[in-house]
Structure 1
Amino acid sequence: MPATPGREEVAVLVLGLAAALFAAAANAGAALLEAMATRRHTRAAGVVTSPLYLSGLLLDIFGWVLTVLALRYMPIVAVQAIVSGQVVITVIASHWVFDTPLRRIDLAAAAANVLGLAFLVGSSRTGELPETGPGATIAILVVLVALTAVGITTAVRSRRAVPTAFIAGLAFGGTAVAVRLVDLDGPVAEVARTVVTDPVAYALLGYAVLGLALYTVALARGTVGPVVAVLAVTETLAPGLLGLVLLGDGIREGWAWAFVLGLVLSLGGVVVLARSPAQASLAGDDGVARPPLKRL
């Protein structure tokens, strides 16, 4: 018989789930606002000073904060899968905002993603973080240095977008692992002191900056579909598996089938939607220059 979660565990799960869902919505809203800004201005200076773009940037930051909160209460693999599901929101929303085409397969992929996320959330659990010691800190810093070296080399020497997107996904996954390792419990003053003095907090920032830089390079060199698909799968699976093996995450007894099915459905839906014409139009990869907005 599958294990039944207790009331306290359910409350924690609901808090983490709400944070992850709002993070996905915030990231999707940010993408739409930033797309509007790029379609209204022809110069970069006009884009970055646009109220639409600045609002999108604030939403991005808000979404990141909510993701950090969700990672404190939910398994890494579930949070990363939910946040990557922002592609579902952007594809459907861009149909209404930019009048981009919405295929039947897009609707099917969106439904598969939602169903998969339900299976993932229901089957996974977060346990106590094992005692990691200084070894974990050293490991996460060493991996950051190695990823930075490999990422910069790949970005400079390779003209292909997918390898760069893969390393960007690993970097974003590193932020999820770092969040789990940083001690953010206790009074505000104590948390602030930890953030300033803990090397893992600086590693978290380093992973985020590296991931963003490499993702930008990948988008500049390839079409948005493959880049987003590779990024979503990598930033979900790599830290998710690490969370299951080393960081206290787990699968409920008797729910392994639901976990695997949920992972396949949720990531499969994201991969399909990442290659949607709506997603390409949102990123400006459809060859249509600054189309008029359908709705404001």
Structure 2
Amino acid sequence: MAVLVVGLLAALVAAGANAGAAMLEALATRRATRAAGVVTSPVYLAGLLLDIVGWVLTVLALRYMPIVAVQAIVAGQVVITVIASHWVFDTPLRRIDLAAAACNVLGLALLVGSASTGELPHIGIGGTIAVLAVLVVLAVGGITLALRSRRAVPTAFVAGLAFGGTAVAVRLIDLDTDGALGDIVRSAVTDPVVWALLGYAVLGLALYTVALARGSVGPVVAVLAVTETLAPGLLGLLLLGDGIREGWTPWFVLGLLLALGGVVVLARSPAQASLAGDDGVARPPLKRA
């Protein structure tokens, strides 16, 4: 139970950090007169720092909670961003947005209440090869889409799979943390799953950026959030030791539907579009994953 609390707190703070990063990056862009000024802005750099903090906390949460619960909580950053942007930037906030936010919170509560975790899996050479092979397939497919297609949604879908791959890789990394720091670093550098984790992250970031450049932020964020939650979450339940408390399966399904449904509605909110510059009023902030 204690480890679930640690994971829950880490995931919640990660969502808050990611939302704060989006707000700071948007604020820096609205103040800047040129792109170079954005990158060197202390406000934007603070946003990047929050991005890093959010990623580290997400990694921590994934070690203690089921993947589907962590991914859904972190995707809930959209809720925080939309509501906060209303107060900071006076962006529009509809009644349906408030209802979606309430559904998301209720859904996350049901997910956390129904979640259970088992032992972290120990994979052999076959599992490592599978992780690397999927990365290669996604890289080939994603790069092909980026070069040959102008459609944003398929690219966002592959980006979501790539980000989902990072969640799976985190769960599969097996480092001996009882040794000296040097031994831990050497173990990490020589672990192919760690390199796969970095590959998935870079691929996801690149494809997400391409998708945002080609389509509206709402559909792109919605597709990304659903994909990066469901795909690795299913793997976690089937193969990686995640589970659902006995008798809680209907509540788990309902929670997942409410949480993701709320994110999808809020991803298409005018507030989200305004924050990203899709409303034609503000310059779009530098995109982030």
Q: TM-score range by the shorter chain?
A: over 0.9
Given residue 74 of structure 1, which amino acid in structure 2 is its aligned partner? M
Partner of 1:229: 222
2:280 paired residue among 268, 287, 290:
287
The answer for unaligned runs of 5 or more in structure 2 is 285-289
Determine the C-alpha separation between the residues in 1 that align with 2:214 and 2:10. 33
Whether the 8 Å contact between 1:183 and 1:191 is mirrored in structure 2 is no
Partner of 2:80: 89
Partner of 1:52: 43
Whether the 8 Å contact between 2:76 and 2:263 is mirrored in structure 1 is yes
- Alignment of 1:168 with 2:159, yes or no, is yes
- What's the offset of the Cα at 1:26? 0.3
SS in 1 for 2:97: helix
Determine the C-alpha separation between the residues in 2 that align with 1:24 and 1:253. 28
Determine the C-alpha separation between the residues in 2 that align with 1:52 and 1:183. 36
Whether the 8 Å contact between 2:274 and 2:282 is mirrored in structure 1 is no
2:242 paired residue among 236, 242, 249:
249
Determine the C-alpha separation between the residues in 2 that align with 1:130 and 1:162. 33
TM-score, normalised on structure 2? 0.95
2:185 paired residue among 187, 192, 199:
192
CA-atom RMSD in angstroms: 1.2
Given residue 241 of structure 1, which amino acid in structure 2 is its aligned partner? L
Determine the C-alpha separation between the residues in 2 that align with 1:74 and 1:250. 10
Determine the C-alpha separation between the residues in 1 that align with 2:176 and 2:60. 11
Cα distance per residue 1:8-44 (max 9 Å; x no partner): xx11110000000000000000000000111111321
- Alignment of 1:114 with 2:75, yes or no, is no
Cα–Cα, structure 1 residues 121 and 184, in superposed 2: closer, same or farther, change >3 Å?
A: farther
- What's the offset of the Cα at 1:132? 2.1
Determine the C-alpha separation between the residues in 1 that align with 2:210 and 2:283. 22
- What's the offset of the Cα at 1:254? 0.4
Given residue 282 of structure 1, which amino acid in structure 2 is its aligned partner? L
Cα–Cα, structure 1 residues 185 and 117, in superposed 2: closer, same or farther, change >3 Å?
A: farther
Number of positions where the alignment pairs a residue of Structure 1 with one of Structure 2: 282
Partner of 1:5: none
Partner of 2:267: 274
Identity of aligned residues (%): 83
Determine the C-alpha separation between the residues in 2 that align with 1:184 and 1:40. 44
1:218 paired residue among 206, 211, 214:
211
SS in 2 for 1:125: strand
2:20 paired residue among 29, 50, 53:
29
Given residue 106 of structure 1, which amino acid in structure 2 is its aligned partner? D
- What's the offset of the Cα at 1:130? 3.6
TM-score, normalised on structure 1? 0.93
Cα distance per residue 1:239-277 (max 9 Å; x no partner): 000000000001111000110000000000000000001
- What's the offset of the Cα at 1:290? 5.2
- What's the offset of the Cα at 1:289? 2.9
Greater shift after overlay, 59-68 or 193-202? 193-202
Determine the C-alpha separation between the residues in 1 that align with 2:236 and 2:229. 11
Partner of 2:287: none
- Alignment of 1:80 with 2:71, yes or no, is yes
Given residue 271 of structure 1, which amino acid in structure 2 is its aligned partner? V
1:261 paired residue among 247, 254, 261:
254
Determine the C-alpha separation between the residues in 2 that align with 1:289 and 1:111. 28
The answer for unaligned runs of 5 or more in structure 1 is 1-9, 292-296
Partner of 1:294: none
Given residue 4 of structure 2, which amino acid in structure 1 is its aligned partner? L
Partner of 2:200: 207
